[in-house]
Amino acid sequence: MQVIGLCRFSYLGLGGFQVNHDTLEERAAFLYAPERLEERFRTFQTMMLPPLKAQTDPDFTFLIVTGDSLPTAAYDRLMDLVADMPQVVIQKHPPRQHRKIMREAINSVRLFDHDLCAQFRMDDDDAVACCYVEKLREAVEDVREMAQKHRHIAIDFNTGFIARPGRDGLQTTPVNNAYTTAALAIVFRREVSQTVMNFSHFKIGRSMPTVTFTGKDMLIRGHNDYNDSRQKSGIKPVELAPQSPEEETHFKEIYNIDADEVRRVFSAA
């Protein structure tokens, strides 16, 4: 079985945002604002990448899709951060319809000679446990008969944290919510060309059978001022608390996220 992860890194496309912009120029100004890009790089570096680099099963493909208008300095910085990750494929695409371009991008790295393909999606401030790919493969084997009967099924690891990194380290709160990215995967049969981006994660149970695995910390949902889902009014605030030394140790063990490195990166000028 092939495992594919997707991260959209400030991709300038048509659609795909909960907050709309009237023109591509307005959206580009939002995406490429220096202060926003700087925060996205810091969360990408300290939250997403450490557990991906430490996966107990390194047999996966991680696709990063960005726009062909991403500033050159930002693109070079992105390349430098993943230079030691053979699993990573970076693709630059022009502005196009979001769902279509993501489908084409994922399928361009998919090996259709495998009987099943598991796909997951992450924002650049999300994270999965270091054992995620390994546990995902085990879960698919547990439900392989079901997966072969249906065009697609969802594997839902629903336990983890919401976390906000900053110059004082991490503020977190535990969560146990169904169908939360980033540890939610969709398993596709070989002949199905749809992708994880064809489905709204909160509505996944309306589209396919789902199997939930709970009780083991598997995901981190990033929380920051630039979350697309937090740009609208009326969003319920999330209560976060600074981590204790014991909680910092837990994060290092489960996610390979180092609180001291978070403090160092977010304190940099």
Domain residue spans of the chain: 2-267
233 has a pLDDT exceeding 90? no
11 has a pLDDT exceeding 50? yes
Neighbours of 160 (CB within 10 A): 26
Residue 205 to residue 225: CA distance in whole angstroms? 29
Q: Which of 180, 95, 123, 84 is nearest to 5 (CA)?
A: 123
Q: What is the pLDDT of residues 110-136, one digit of tens each?
A: 999 889 999 999 999 999 999 999 999
Alpha carbon distances (Å) from 206 to 150, 198, 203: 14, 13, 6
pLDDT of residue 211: 97
pTM (predicted TM-score): 0.93
Class of domain 2-267: alpha beta
Residue 182 to residue 162: CA distance in whole angstroms? 11
For residues 39-57, average pLDDT: 98
Neighbours of 139 (CB within 10 A): 20
Q: What is the pLDDT of residues 166-195, one digit of tens each?
A: 999 999 999 999 999 989 999 999 999 999
pLDDT of residue 231: 44
